[in-house]
Amino acid sequence: MSALSALFSNGSAVVSGGASGLGRATASALASAGLPVTVLDLPEACARLEAEAGVTAIPTDVTDAASVERAFAAHEQRVGLCRIHVNCAGVIGAGLLFSRDGGLTADAFRRIVDVNLVGTFACARAAADQMRRAEPNAEGGRGVIVNTSSIAAYDGMVGQVAYAASKGAVASMTLPLARELARFGIRVMAIAPGVFSTPMVNDLPERSKEVVTGLLPLFPPRLGEPAEFGQLVVSTILHPLLNGEVIRLDGGLRMPPQ
């Protein structure tokens, strides 16, 4: 039995945005440790997901709270109460306030916040609701939630107003969530990744990619691999004292203004 599957009896995990990139690697890491994993992602992303032992996908839109509730209920019915939840659903949505295409409107801003922030909240709420009903482990622990922020929360570049605002808020809600859920034995952490080789980054326009990949002055001078994110998620879940904090995972990268 792996340390992860020994952490909670009948443990299982839900990974939102788990059909691609960092979420995909996290779902694989959790499934390889022996946990049944449910991936929540948009229908088209779920349809592209290759079959993997221990991983089941449920089409879900995290901006729709009812869709999130249904997906968590389906997870519970399938494998029992969720004890580990990792929030990776997100969109990058770069945009200048003023540009030839009309610029970043309030509606476009709201859409990014809706996915990255409100979606994270809806999933964390549904996950915590299952965790608080679970049997505690020997230390009283019932579950762990890991949200995904970004280094844009701290070093937002020009064009990242909406993205940085949404990720800053994900970072800011870590401590109050951890404080509120402590009485149930639920820990809440966030990871703020630097730049990782995922479709979100690989599909950027060439010019933006050059900026991002030209910025890697420290060590190692390369993009992060999604499996390295999954590795930190697993370590975070296993470490009993990690709670209410945001961990930068960026090889020392600090983004310049533009």
Ligand X SMILES: NC(=O)c1ccc[n+]([C@@H]2O[C@H](COP(=O)([O-])OP(=O)(O)OC[C@H]3O[C@@H](n4cnc5c(N)ncnc54)[C@H](O)[C@@H]3O)[C@@H](O)[C@H]2O)c1
State yes or no: is 154 an active-site residue: no
Q: Is residue 230 a contact residue for ligand X (CB under 6 A)?
A: no
Binding residues for ligand X restricted to 7-46, rule: CB under 6 A: 17, 19-23, 41-42, 45
Strand-strand pairing, 13-16 and 55-59: unpaired
- Smallest distance, Å, CB 164 to ligand X? 11
Count the residues of the shown chain that bind ligand X, applying the rule CB under 6 A.
29
**Site track 119-138 with ligand X (rule: CB under 6 A), x = hit:** x-------------------
Residue written as tokens 């004292």?
241
CA distance 212 to 204: 10
Beta bridge partners of 249: 193
Beta bridge partners of 241: none
Q: Is residue 168 a contact residue for ligand X (CB under 6 A)?
A: no
User: HSE of 254 in the Cβ direction (CA atoms, 13 Å)?
Assistant: 0
CA distance 72 to 53: 20
CA distance 152 to 204: 16
Among residues 89, 162, 164, 255, the one that binds ligand X under rule CB under 6 A: 89
Q: Is residue 198 a contact residue for ligand X (CB under 6 A)?
A: yes
- Residue 23 DSSP SS3: helix
Nearer to ligand X, 11 or 21 (CB): 21
Catalytic site positions: 163
Q: Which residues bind ligand X (CB under 6 A)?
A: 17, 19-23, 41-42, 45, 60-63, 88-91, 115-116, 119, 148, 150, 193, 195-196, 198-201
